[in-house]
Amino acid sequence: MFKNMKKYYKGAHLERLSWGVARTFRQNEKQEFLNQLGIDIPGAKDYLEKEPYEHWLRSHFDCTAKCEHITNNFSESFNWWIMKIRDKPLTKAFERLSLMLMKLMFERRIKAKSWDQGGLVPRAVKHLEYLMAHYGEYDMEGGDKNEWVSISSTGASYFSPYHFVASYVATYSGIIHPVSDDTYWASLLYVVDPPPL
């Protein structure tokens, strides 16, 4: 969105304010950045407000996503995939995309079989090990010595359900049916003529 806006409004100050708006977690901070943007570059604020906040402001993202990124990596990946097939006719492109998705889901199912089915995905395990290595022990100062929490290998209970292998397996458990041959397709009710040349 910012790259499109740079065609009309330029400058490092604008970039700082725009990314500041997008990255804030709290809506009051977002409003401070937007107000400053409205004072400094009113047209840029109007340009940004054309797009719904839920699409580009972290402070308005759905909390169930469990992700703090402001870029949609799925969309970026999908756009990269279709670059490989965009020169194909529509039916061939759809068939090839379907095959690519089938292959991805199959490979991820196979990968998940080697993991501990009751545990965390390897990335979460690695993060937990990092936390235990860097923050596993504390020196207590003041207070009751019996008031403490130990992070151990059972720390998995503090993770979101999304980080468990069962959730990963459930994500890729569905199937994608192959595209059937066009001889099996239903007949068209009407024909659309091509545009005049």
First CA to last CA across the chain, in angstroms?
A: 35
Dihedral sign for Cα atoms in the order 60, 64, 67, 72: negative
Task: Tell me: do 29 and 105 sit in the same domain.
Answer: no
Q: Are residues 165 and 84 in the same domain?
A: yes
Q: Please give the residue range of the domain that contains residue 44.
A: 2-65
Provide the β-strand partners of residue 164: 120
Residue 78: predicted pLDDT: 81
Q: What is the pLDDT of residue 72?
A: 63
pLDDT of residue 70: 59
Count of other CB atoms within 10 angstroms of residue 153? 10
- Block means of pLDDT (10 residues each) for the chain, 197 residues, are 77 82 82 86 84 80 61 75 87 88 92 90 86 68 55 58 88 85 79 84
**Residue 100 forms part of a structural domain:** yes
Last residue of a domain, one of 65, 89, 113: 65
Claim to verify: residue 175 and residue 84 sit in the same structural domain: yes
Q: What does pTM read for this prediction?
A: 0.54
User: Is the domain of 101 the same as that of 163?
Assistant: yes
Burial of 21 (0-12, 13-18, 19+ CB in 10 A): buried
Residue 56's CB: how many other CB atoms inside 10 A? 18
CA 80/CA 95 separation, integer angstroms: 17
Check residue 103 and give its pLDDT.
92
Alpha helices in the chain (DSSP H): 2-5, 12-23, 27-40, 42-49, 53-56, 73-85, 90-113, 122-135, 165-171
Same domain, 59 and 78: no
Q: Are residues 165 and 104 in the same domain?
A: yes
- In the listed set 65, 97, 113, which residue is the last one of a domain according to the structure? 65
How many CB atoms are located within 10 Å of the residue 59 CB?
A: 16
Check residue 109 and give its pLDDT.
93
56 and 94 housed in the same domain: no
175, 131: one domain: yes
Domain count, the chain: 2
Is the domain of 133 the same as that of 44?
Answer: no
Residues 103 and 166 in one domain: yes
- What pLDDT, on a 0 to 100 scale, did the predictor assign at position 111? 93
